[in-house]
Amino acid sequence: MISFDQLGLIPALLDAISARGFETPTPIQAEMIPFLLTEQRDVTGLAQTGTGKTAAFGLPLLQNIDLSSRTTQALILTPTRELGLQVSREIAEYGANLPSLRTTAVYGGAPFGAQIRDLKAGPHIITATPGRLKDLLDKGIADLSALRFLVLDEADQMLDMGFKDELDAILAAANPERRTLLFSATMPPEVARIAATYMTDPHEIVSGHKNQSAGTVTHYYYRVHAHDKYEALKRLIDVKTGMYAIIFCRTRETVKDITARLSRDGYTADALHGELAQSQRDTVMSRFREGNPSLLVATDVAARGLDVNNLTHVIHYDLPDEVSAYTHRSGRTGRAGRSGASLALVHMREGHRIAYIERTIGRKMEEAKIPRGHDICEARLMELLSRVKEVEVNEESVGPYLQAVRDSLAGIEREELLQRFISVEFNRFLEQYADAPDLNPSLSKTRPKRMEADSMVWFRLNIGRRQSVLPPQIIGLINKATDSGNINIGRININTDSCEVQVDGAMARQVEDALAGYSYQGTRIRVERVTNQRPAGKQRGPRRPAGNGPPQARRPKGRKGKPNRRN
């Protein structure tokens, strides 16, 4: 096995590496460091987060810096403030034994003054976010004319966040004689375009395979009905003792909703989404890094740059729209040599996406069952018993209390004592899951029996096309008003100033009471039952449960399966 002292690094850097407790390089470090020290070519590095990229490019940069010059010789661009600060700290720690080394970080969301002063002092290495650096270039403050190295860290995420124009401007302004190092977890077309435009014959170093998930992460998926997703999430949290996880949702509204529901149900969780001010974001991330709370509910954009090395799980409450986002999410666990698990809650209509994800990440996703109540109680009990068996007993300390314990428990039989022992720790779980239903959906291919038309009730609402209403909005309105995802909905007709919706008769009173007086985009809802007739109007979509949204509405077909056309 290769060691750091075989890579050609100077003693000052080797001492810093040793001080941080690192003994052997990761695969990308073992290949990247000697190449950057001996070759003069541009480099693209394909590697997941958590594989040691910062040391892979940072150590060679530090070894090549001319400390006698007061010019900026290396620029590291990162997608977010948080990642930039982390990279800057690591570079400073690796260079702790280099005399006169000056580093700084510039990023948005902070005053210009201190950053301008730092730049005028002539730092050797700048770590920056693209937006703030572009502003400083426009002000004539940042000087990239003497740049020897330009590093694009997590280039795919920078482009995903909309920094294409800023990157083009910075790359065009930088010293054309520089070396460019591009690091990315995936290689979408825009990243390839940057490589082709701004790099010269780059040498490619791949850790693993392109777009492939880290080998330390095990991938599981759970099939679940839309209205059971939240209950399934709670069961995954309850069965996994010691979970330290990020729960990813597609929208900020879902993030806020899930966080509120977890807090209401006795779990400690924080939310991270785009509406938070920078100070709030810093507080949330600082708390999470300290492990309190151990659950963070986040959107993909808000979690970018969040670096936590010891996450045990990543949970995909919603599958992302892009597979590259799945790769980034999953790469936040299983880092620094640790193992991790990626758990995906998959809606019944999303099953086809699993094979596509598997092909892209190059790994098998194992289908798992949502834990039953018995599974959760047993897992928790076994974990407690394991701790009881492994605890070190200080006989001298507990000895004086043993007789009092014996006297207090006198007369209690062994079996009863065990029952009381279990009840003290597990009453909450036992009560919560005593009669809990099995949330695993039946995979029977038999189609469910359709609701009979005479079991449905029609309601007319005073919102329609004038309010830009479509079937998904009607379904979402009913779900939100009733606080349920289990309302059976039939046909929906959309008119100019009204709509009619068909609801299972057994749930009609619940829907009627919930919608009466409810507001939609400033319009106070009026609900009217439509009796003894089938309302006129254009029908939108087939019958379906409200769930997590409808399938895409399809135009009714005419003869031979061809779409009907308006006259």
Q: How far is the CA of 449 from the CAs of 120, 446, 452, 487, 544, in angstroms?
A: 74, 9, 9, 16, 12
pTM, entire model: 0.56
* Average pLDDT value for residue range 551-565: 41
DSSP letter (8 states) at residue 508 = H
Q: Which residues contact 164 (CB under 8 A, 6 or more apart)?
A: 190
Lowest average pLDDT, out of 100-104, 458-462, 530-534, goes to 530-534
Under the banding of pLDDT at 50, 70 and 90, the label for residue 246 is: very high
Lowest average pLDDT, out of 81-90, 118-127, 150-159, 529-538, goes to 529-538
> What are the DSSP calls for 297-319, one per residue?
EE-HHHHTT---TT--EEEESS-
pLDDT digits (tens, 9 = 90+) for 343-352: 999 987 777 7
Under the banding of pLDDT at 50, 70 and 90, the label for residue 208 is: low
Q: Report how far residue 369's alpha carbon sits from residue 232's, in angstroms, rounded to the nearest whole number.
A: 10
Collapsed DSSP state (helix, strand, coil) of residue 246 = strand
The full set of domains in the chain, from first to last, is 4-206 (3.40.50.300), 217-370 (3.40.50.300), 453-553 (3.30.70.330)
Q: Which residue has the higher pLDDT, 533 or 147?
A: 147
Helices (H), 240-277: 252-264
pLDDT digits (tens, 9 = 90+) for 444-467: 543 444 445 567 889 999 998 888
Contact call for residues 495 and 485 (beta carbons, < 8 A): no
Contact call for residues 214 and 362 (beta carbons, < 8 A): no
Q: Which residues pair with 217 in a beta bridge?
A: 340
Contact call for residues 302 and 272 (beta carbons, < 8 A): yes
* pLDDT exceeds cutoff 90 at 285: no
* pLDDT exceeds cutoff 70 at 566: no
Q: Which residue has the higher pLDDT, 202 or 555?
A: 202
* Average pLDDT value for residue range 37-54: 84
Q: What is the CA radius of gyration of the chain?
A: 29
Q: pLDDT value at position 374?
A: 84
* pLDDT exceeds cutoff 90 at 433: no
Q: pLDDT value at position 130?
A: 93
Under the banding of pLDDT at 50, 70 and 90, the label for residue 395 is: confident
* pLDDT exceeds cutoff 80 at 196: yes
* Average pLDDT value for residue range 108-113: 88
Q: Report how far residue 27's alpha carbon sits from residue 207's, in angstroms, rounded to the nearest whole number.
A: 7
Tokens of 165: 């124009």
pLDDT digits (tens, 9 = 90+) for 55-68: 999 999 999 999 99
* Average pLDDT value for residue range 109-121: 92
Tokens of 493: 């007709």
pLDDT digits (tens, 9 = 90+) for 178-192: 999 998 877 778 888
Q: pLDDT value at position 522?
A: 77
Ranges 230-239, 379-388, 417-426, most confident:
230-239
Q: Report how far residue 386's alpha carbon sits from residue 316's, in angstroms, rounded to the nearest whole number.
A: 29
Contact call for residues 377 and 429 (beta carbons, < 8 A): yes
Under the banding of pLDDT at 50, 70 and 90, the label for residue 535 is: very low
Under the banding of pLDDT at 50, 70 and 90, the label for residue 551 is: very low
The DSSP element (H or E) to which 545 belongs, if any, is: strand 544-545
Q: Which residues pair with 397 in a beta bridge?
A: none
Exposure letters 341-350 (e unless 16+ CB within 10 A, then b): bbbbbbbeeb
% of the chain residues with pLDDT over 70:
87
Q: Report how far residue 99's alpha carbon sits from residue 68's, in angstroms, rounded to the nearest whole number.
A: 10
* pLDDT exceeds cutoff 50 at 313: yes
Under the banding of pLDDT at 50, 70 and 90, the label for residue 541 is: very low
Q: Which residues contact 116 (CB under 8 A, 6 or more apart)?
A: 136, 139, 141
* Average pLDDT value for residue range 246-252: 90
Among candidates 356, 345, 351, 358, which has minimal Cα distance to 316? 345
Lowest average pLDDT, out of 118-132, 283-297, 435-449, goes to 435-449
Q: pLDDT value at position 547?
A: 44
* pLDDT exceeds cutoff 90 at 104: yes
Among candidates 17, 15, 152, which has minimal Cα distance to 87? 152
Q: pLDDT value at position 557?
A: 43
Ranges 327-331, 452-456, 459-463, 562-566, most confident:
459-463
Among candidates 451, 528, 511, which has minimal Cα distance to 477? 511
Contact call for residues 299 and 248 (beta carbons, < 8 A): yes
